[in-house]
Structure 1
Amino acid sequence: MKKHIIPAIRLTVVCIVFFCGIYTLAIWTIAQLAPGKGEGLTISDSGKTYHVNVGQAFTSDRYFWSRPSAVDYNAAGSGGSNKGPSNPEYLATIAARIDTFLAHNPGIERAQIPSDLVTASGSGLDPHISVQAAEVQVARIANERNFTEDAISQLVASNTEKPLFGLFGTERINVLKLNLALDKLR
């Protein structure tokens, strides 16, 4: 028995030292090299500080709408809905989101609505929408703010983030950055 207990205790001590000390220090050091020093990316605008990498609710017709969140944009507890595509409750939620979107965006056909405007992401905190999701909202925002659709489309184009190294991912738009830029348009 002593033959098994002593190595187990040694392994436990080594793991505690490594994972509670060395590993933690290494991750903290790497975080200090990142933008925001491991605290997340923030933007300050008009005296307010916003977290760029966490989705936020925008429901006014004057703004681009974010991707829906299964956790009400609560960064303390991210998560998806965990409901499958054949779940009746999930389908009712999607149908309600589609109906709401169509009511606020007259002239848009059901088939034109990108899926990211009616489905939540896996984390429920995705700060991005697709370029198509932004473009389908241009007419509503131009009408609400008395701008031309071309001016809003140019704003969408200038806020489009390209794939990493031109290879990884798709073009996307950070909704917070786009809406802050929209507020600066005069």
Structure 2
Amino acid sequence: MWVSLRRAVVVSLAFFVLLGLAYPLATTGIGQLLFHDKANGSLTANGSTRIGQTWSGPQWFQGRRDGDDPTATGGSNLGPRSQELSDKVKKQIDALKKEGITPTSGLVTASGSGVDPDISPDDAYAQVASVAKSRNLPEDRVRQLVADHVSGPQYGFLGASHVNVLELNVALAALT
């Protein structure tokens, strides 16, 4: 019996060292060495490019209305018959129209994760006139800025084209 217990303890310690210490340290080291920016949260002076931000005013491109709390991730579980969801969408449509933005489905609904930093190119182009007007910039220049920040599907076939709102607004700030 003591022999079996000793073997179990030795195997448990070996797996603890291997899987609890060596493997996590190795993967962290590889991540830091090969993917330093991504492993550290893709931080910029204005926040993370991986977490959606809230931008207020027509002088900025707006992201999805997910909120400011990255710890409150996940969907709302509000269904298509939900009055609360309907009220939120109507309120968002009215707010966008006041800013001169043509409402699109991506701009009036939240993402599934609650922290999506990207919008579709259509969502970005819908805001070009409002942003250009509020910054006294030619619409063509702002439209070109959006076009320059459209990223295609990952690996050319996974997902859809998208625009990172933080990166777009940083480039917009550099224009003026």
TM tier, shorter chain?
0.7 to 0.9
CA contact (8 A) 1:156 1:178 kept: yes
Q: Which amino acid aligns with 2:60?
A: Y
Greater displacement, 57-66 / 90-99: 90-99
The answer as to 2:131 corresponding to 1:137 is no
RMSD of aligned Cα (Å): 2.6
CA contact (8 A) 2:72 2:114 kept: no
Q: Which amino acid aligns with 1:129?
A: I
Shift of 1:74: 1.9
TM-score, length-normalised on structure 2?
0.84
Match of 1:119 in 2: 109
Per the alignment, in what secondary structure is the counterpart of residue 29 of structure 2? helix
Match of 1:65 in 2: 62
State the alpha-carbon separation in 2 of the partners of residues 145 and 154 from structure 1. 15
The answer as to 2:144 corresponding to 1:149 is no
Provide structure 2 residue ranges, at least 5 long, that are not aligned to the other structure: none
State the alpha-carbon separation in 1 of the partners of residues 123 and 172 from structure 2. 16
State the alpha-carbon separation in 2 of the partners of residues 160 and 142 from structure 1. 18
Instruction: Map 1:50-129; keep pairs closer than 5 Å.
Output: 50-69=47-66, 72-105=67-100, 108=102, 113-129=103-119
The answer as to 2:27 corresponding to 1:27 is yes
Tell me how many residue pairs correspond in the alignment: 175
Q: Which amino acid aligns with 1:183?
A: A
Greater displacement, 13-22 / 170-179: 13-22
State the alpha-carbon separation in 2 of the partners of residues 31 and 74 from structure 1. 26
Shift of 1:16: 4.0
Shift of 1:115: 1.6
State the alpha-carbon separation in 1 of the partners of residues 6 and 79 from structure 2. 48
Q: Which amino acid aligns with 1:27?
A: T
Per the alignment, in what secondary structure is the counterpart of residue 140 of structure 1? helix
Greater displacement, 150-159 / 92-101: 92-101
State the alpha-carbon separation in 1 of the partners of residues 70 and 13 from structure 2. 34
Match of 1:39 in 2: 40
State the alpha-carbon separation in 1 of the partners of residues 161 and 27 from structure 2. 30
